[in-house]
């Protein structure tokens, strides 16, 4: 557990970046720091590994004050991932990942072998081990950055907007990979982002900071959406927080219509399948609109995704697929609305 106890950071000139912060980050969970620019979230993160020293108060890891430890040794025991990965450009991927193990006395051959294993763990091919950072895509570099942070098997990881410098598609893939890794490893993670959607998607707990370095509210993503502490938090999570809350409800119990029977007469739309039963597009008023590929979902996906797919579809519907990608049901946005109404009534009972 990481504990902030009345921590303040004031810079020369009187600027207070963090003001009397008391906060607990539970062991084995992801705690996301989120808030507007200049609210102290990155400063708070960097005080954990003492790249910034607190002015007053105490930060402890499992009960041990971080300021009582040698700063260099402390940092070797804490994984750290930043924007743009921060890789050494003159070192190969393997040598970048091996940086901390080599500092800790692991021999070079063993450290490089471990680096190759970590590449596989973060979803990259071992063949990339001999390449240099400039030869990798942005998403690949970020994965290498995560692998480097994991190399010493640290119990604590700090992640400072690690996915903000890549495009939305790559970012979504990195987030999924990150959650998969965390499910296997169970690290204690402090994660900084300015994106409330990322915070809700990744955080077990979310700490919202306001300007001036004050903690506005901390809780589970569902808590923040259901019961914001004040107008600032409500504005920050968004007036559409009811839609965001659909991220926590899966499509498992969503009733769908049979694919073979699905025709939206009001829109003149019907689903087009290939010979294997996979959806390829919509036929609207007799014209096949293959460029408008149907949005697909599985029973594991959130209702937020299903709702978005149905709203943006030319047929006003989303297509459910099985593990093989074969269409096994269709749901219109009207049916989703009925399902949500039923869920709300059930909750109110």
- The residue among 101, 91, 100, 170 whose CA lies nearest residue 131 is 91
pLDDT tens digit sequence for 220-238: 998 898 889 899 998 888 8
Do 243 and 227 contact (CB within 8 A), yes or no? no
Q: Which of 248, 277, 300 is the last residue of a domain?
A: 248
Q: What is the pLDDT of residue 314?
A: 79
237 with 302, same domain: the answer is: no
Q: Which of 224, 248, 272 is the last residue of a domain?
A: 248
pLDDT tens digit sequence for 283-339: 776 666 545 566 789 998 888 889 988 888 878 889 999 988 899 889 888 888 888
- Dump the DSSP string for 253-318: T---B-TTT-EETTTTEEEEE-TTS-EEEEEETTEEETTSPPPEE-TTSBHHHHHHHHHHSTTSEE
CATH of residue 131's domain is: 3.40.50.300
Give the H/E segment covering residue 214: strand 214-219
User: Residue 265: pLDDT band by 50, 70, 90 thresholds?
Assistant: low
Residues 290, 156: Cα–Cα separation, whole Å: 47
User: Residue 263: pLDDT band by 50, 70, 90 thresholds?
Assistant: low
Show the domain range for 283: 263-348
111 with 39, same domain: the answer is: yes
Other CB atoms within a 10 A radius of the CB of residue 301 amount to 17
Residues 230, 185: Cα–Cα separation, whole Å: 35
For the whole prediction, is pTM greater than 0.85? Answer: no
Residues 30, 3: Cα–Cα separation, whole Å: 14
Other CB atoms within a 10 A radius of the CB of residue 153 amount to 13
H helices present in 122-272, as ranges = 138-150, 168-185, 196-202, 221-226, 231-237, 241-244
Strands 156-160 and 30-34: unpaired
79 with 194, same domain: the answer is: yes
| DSSP three-state, residue 188 | strand
268 with 182, same domain: the answer is: no
209 with 322, same domain: the answer is: no
220 with 284, same domain: the answer is: no
194 with 91, same domain: the answer is: yes
Asked if residue 138 has pLDDT above 90, the reply is: no
190 with 318, same domain: the answer is: no
Other CB atoms within a 10 A radius of the CB of residue 124 amount to 21
Q: Which of 61-95 are b and which e, b meaning 16 or more Cβ less than 10 Å from the residue's Cβ?
A: beeeebeeeeeeebbbbbbbbbbebebeeeebbbb
Least confident of 84-98, 111-125, 255-269, 291-305: 255-269
Whether residue 154 lies inside any domain: the answer is yes
281 with 239, same domain: the answer is: no
238 with 340, same domain: the answer is: no
Do 282 and 299 contact (CB within 8 A), yes or no? no
Q: Which of 220, 248, 276 is the last residue of a domain?
A: 248
135 with 84, same domain: the answer is: yes
Whether residue 51 lies inside any domain: the answer is yes
Whether residue 257 lies inside any domain: the answer is no
Asked if residue 90 has pLDDT above 80, the reply is: yes
Whether residue 114 lies inside any domain: the answer is yes
Domain count, the chain: 2
Residues 71, 67: Cα–Cα separation, whole Å: 8
Q: Which of 189-219 are b and which e, b meaning 16 or more Cβ less than 10 Å from the residue's Cβ?
A: bbbbbbebebbbbbbebbbbbbeebbbbbbb
134 with 220, same domain: the answer is: yes
CATH of residue 329's domain is: 3.10.580.10
Joined tokens for residue 232: 């600032």
């Amino acid at each position: 557990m990481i504990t902030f106890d009345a921590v303040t950071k004031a810079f020369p000139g009187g600027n207070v970046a963090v003001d009397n912060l008391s906060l607990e980050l539970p062991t084995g969970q992801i705690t996301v720091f989120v808030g507007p620019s200049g609210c102290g979230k990155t400063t708070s993160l960097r005080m954990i590994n003492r790249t910034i020293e607190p002015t007053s108060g105490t930060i402890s890891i499992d009960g041990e004050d971080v300021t009582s430890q040698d700063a260099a040794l402390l940092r070797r025991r804490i994984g750290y991932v930043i924007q743009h990965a921060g890789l050494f450009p003159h070192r190969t991927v393997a040598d970048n990942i091996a940086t901390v193990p080599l500092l800790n006395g692991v021999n070079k051959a063993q450290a490089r072998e471990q680096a190759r294993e970590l590449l596989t763990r973060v979803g990259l091919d071992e063949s990339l081990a001999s390449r240099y950072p400039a030869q990798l895509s942005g998403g690949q570099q970020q994965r290498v950055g995560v692998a480097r942070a994991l190399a010493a098997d640290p119990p604590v990881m700090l992640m400072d907007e690690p996915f903000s410098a890549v495009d939305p598609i790559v970012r979504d893939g990195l987030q999924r990979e990150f959650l998969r890794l965390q499910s296997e490893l169970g690290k204690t993670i402090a994660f900084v982002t300015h994106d409330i959607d990322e915070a809700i998607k990744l955080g077990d707990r979310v700490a919202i900071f306001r300007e001036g370095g004050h903690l506005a509210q901390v809780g589970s993503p569902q808590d923040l959406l259901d019961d914001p502490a004040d107008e600032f938090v409500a504005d920050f999570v968004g007036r559409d927080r009811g839609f965001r809350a659909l991220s926590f409800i899966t499509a498992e119990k969503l009733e769908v219509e049979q694919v073979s029977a699905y025709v939206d007469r009001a829109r003149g739309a019907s689903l087009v399948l290939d010979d294997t039963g996979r959806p390829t597009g919509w036929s609207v008023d007799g014209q096949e609109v293959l460029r408008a590929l149907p949005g697909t979902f599985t029973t594991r996906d959130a209702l937020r995704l299903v709702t978005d797919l149905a709203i943006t579809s030319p047929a006003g519907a989303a297509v459910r697929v099985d593990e093989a990608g074969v269409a096994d049901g269709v749901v219109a946005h009207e049916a989703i609305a009925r399902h949500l109404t039923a869920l709300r009534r059930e909750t109110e009972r």
